[in-house]
Amino acid sequence: MLKQFTPEKVIRMIKMSVTLCCCWPLPAASSRIRVCGYKVLQIFTVVSACLVLLPLLYSTYLHSDDIVIVSKCICVSIGMSQLIVQTLICLIKHDSLQRVVGEMVACVKHAQQYETQVFYKYIAKCDMFYGGAIVFTYLTATAFLLGPVIMPVSFPLDAEYPFRVNYTPVNVLIYLHQSIVSYQCSANVCLCIFGALLFWFTAARFECLAIEFEKSSNIDMLIACVEKQLRLRRYAEEVVSCFRFVVLYTIAVTTFAMTLCGVIMIMDAPLIVKMQFITICVTVLTEVYMYAWPVDHMKEMSLHISTSAYNLLWYEYTVKMQKNLLNILLYQKPVTFSISCLVPELSLRYYCSYLSNAFSIFTALRVLLENDSST
């Protein structure tokens, strides 16, 4: 097994990928001044993104007759809105994120050999997918920033400002600002990888606990495993709570982007506009998948504990031990990710049904537009 990516290195890489948007929480031992300064940086990130979002909306208003510019502004505005909303959520959830990340780092640091082997198995399972997503995200931002070098445009983004920008100091300042915010948007896209890291880690801990259950040979070991299970379930629920509204907003943005893409694909729009909206749809759909995959596996591993308890040689144990095992089997509930009245249960099955519904919306929009054009 290749071990070029250790659990510690994976955590550091993902931490670096979201550093620019200030979404990774500070260590628990941080001073109050440092925490306040970090929250000021998060607020500054939100304000900075608003200073780009407003000119983009202004540009949409000025060039409402140019579908190419409007489509570009809408695509970038979606990214800006995600940066604003998700940074605010991380600001509000800072203490909860601090606890779950701190526990993850401590667990990885003091992991036993069998736990480390489980962590390596998970890293080998998804390192290429998530690592490639980080690289692609930052390369996309870099390609945007190189636009003024290759094409006859002044700035990377098609934003319009209500003041003159043809002065060199103002021009340079706007270019630097748009560059920083573009990379912050890339870092914010990587927030889904940060969430996936915590969900994969939780699933791995459930698998490690299942191994401990299989090694239980007396009532004391069984009690210790049950206590660990209760603590782990509380940890999993806190991780879900940290990312519940982040995922909800991602799904809302995805629905909006796909609906808009369906309209653009049906219209007689230029090919470059269609490609832009296809790209943004693939991006947001990938974000949802990055959450759905580990959450689905976390649910499966939380149920795997029951299987591990059942696979014990319970028929060789005392009657008291058999009753305790029966109680464990009876009161097992999976850990799921759900949002009341909106997302019944995030999973790969839900993701597939979501895609199916999206294509149904495309079909319905196409029928409506064709009926309007025929009349």
Could you read off the pLDDT of 192-235 as tens digits, one per residue? 999 999 999 999 999 998 888 777 766 777 777 778 888 998 99
Q: Give CA–CA dist 207/112, Å, rounded.
A: 13
In a domain, 67, yes or no: yes
The answer to whether residue 199 is domain-embedded is: yes
- Label residues 228-244 b or e (16+ Cβ within 10 Å = b): ebeebbebbebbbebbb
Residue 122 lies in a domain: yes
Q: How far apart are CA 321 and CA 312, in angstroms?
A: 11
Backbone angles phi, psi at 231, to 5 degrees: -65, -40
pLDDT above 70 covers a percentage of the chain that reads 89
Q: Is the pLDDT of residue 2 over 50?
A: no
Q: State the pLDDT at residue 372.
A: 62
CA distances from 115 to 126, 214, 226, 303, 307 (A): 17, 14, 18, 18, 19
- From CA 318, how far away is CA 38, in angstroms rounded? 56
Q: Using CA atoms, how far apart are residues 284 and 292, in angstroms rounded to an integer? A: 13
Q: Would 68 be classed as within a structural domain?
A: yes
Question: Position of tokens 């409506």?
Answer: 368
Contacts of 241 by beta carbon, 8 Å cutoff, 6+ apart:
93, 96
Contact, 210 vs 118, CB < 8 A? no
- For residue 343, give the 3-state DSSP assignment: strand
Distance from C-alpha of 48 to C-alpha of 52, rounded to nearest angstrom: 7
% the chain with pLDDT above 90 = 45
| Structural domains in the chain (count) | 1
Residue 369: pLDDT band with limits 50, 70, 90: low
Q: Which residue do the tokens 């949802």 mark?
A: 288
Q: Which domain holds residue 296?
A: 13-374
Instruction: Give Cβ neighbours of residue 324 (< 8 Å, ≥ 6 apart).
Output: 219, 222
Q: Are 193 and 131 in contact (CB under 8 A)?
A: no
Tell me the pLDDT band of 1, cut-offs 50, 70 and 90.
Answer: very low
Residue 172 lies in a domain: yes
Model confidence at 270: pLDDT above 50: yes
User: Residue holding tokens 């999993």?
Assistant: 236
- Find out whether 207 and 236 touch, Cβ atoms under 8 Å: no
Residue 312, pLDDT score? 62
- 114 has a pLDDT exceeding 50: yes
Distance (Å, whole) CA 308 – CA 274: 50
Is 1 a domain residue? no
126 contact partners, CB below 8 Å, separation of at least 6: 196, 200, 293
Specify if 349 maps to a domain.
Answer: yes
Which residues, at least 6 apart from 32, have a Cβ–Cβ distance to it below 8 Å?
Answer: none
Token output for 180: 């920083």
The model's confidence at residue 358, banded by pLDDT at 50, 70 and 90, is confident
For the packed helices 271-310 and 348-374, what is the interaxial angle rounded to 10 degrees?
Answer: 150
Cα 100 from Cα 202, distance rounded (Å): 10
Q: How far apart are CA 103 and CA 248, in angstroms?
A: 25
Does 47 map to a domain? Answer: yes
Q: Which residues of 150-188 are buried (b: 16+ CB within 10 A; e: fewer)?
A: eeeeebbbbbbeeeeeeeeeeeeebbebbbebbbbbbbb
